[in-house]
Amino acid sequence: MAISVFSNAVFSGSFLVLISLTSPVLSSVAALLTIFLVATVDWLFRGKSLSAATILGGLVISGAFFLLAWSTWREMNEEEERTGRKKDDDDEAVYSESEFEEGDV
């Protein structure tokens, strides 16, 4: 029981962090990967066989996740090229000294 509560807390916390760092859609598709992950772990450690439907579903979910991740990455790169600023730049780097008058600094 305790391991179940701990695992749920880790998953929920990780899911919320993932939502804050990416998007809800990407996070939800990534959460679907846990279904295939659990089936794979059952196969590896418990010897339960994977059905054709499980393998096909896992491949479809994995493909959807990678397509969505690639699309998100491409969109972020296009945004960086359009604005000329990376998302991790400091706010101070956004303003050049020419934008300030001497009295403002």
72, burial (CB in 10 Å: exposed 0-12, middle 13-18, buried 19+): middle
Query: Per-residue pLDDT for 23 more than 60?
Result: yes
Averaged over 15-43, what is the pLDDT?
86
Degrees (nearest 5) of the Cα angle 28, 49, 2?
55
The more confidently predicted of residues 29 and 94 is: 29
Token pair 């279904």: residue: 35
Please state the length of the chain.
105
22 half-sphere exposure, CB direction, 13 A CA radius: 21
Q: What confidence tens digit (pLDDT) does each residue in 70-90 have?
A: 988 898 888 888 887 665 555
- Which pTM was predicted? 0.61
Q: 66: which residues sit within 8 A by CB, 6+ positions away?
A: none
Q: Angle 52-83/24-41 helices, nearest 10 degrees?
A: 150
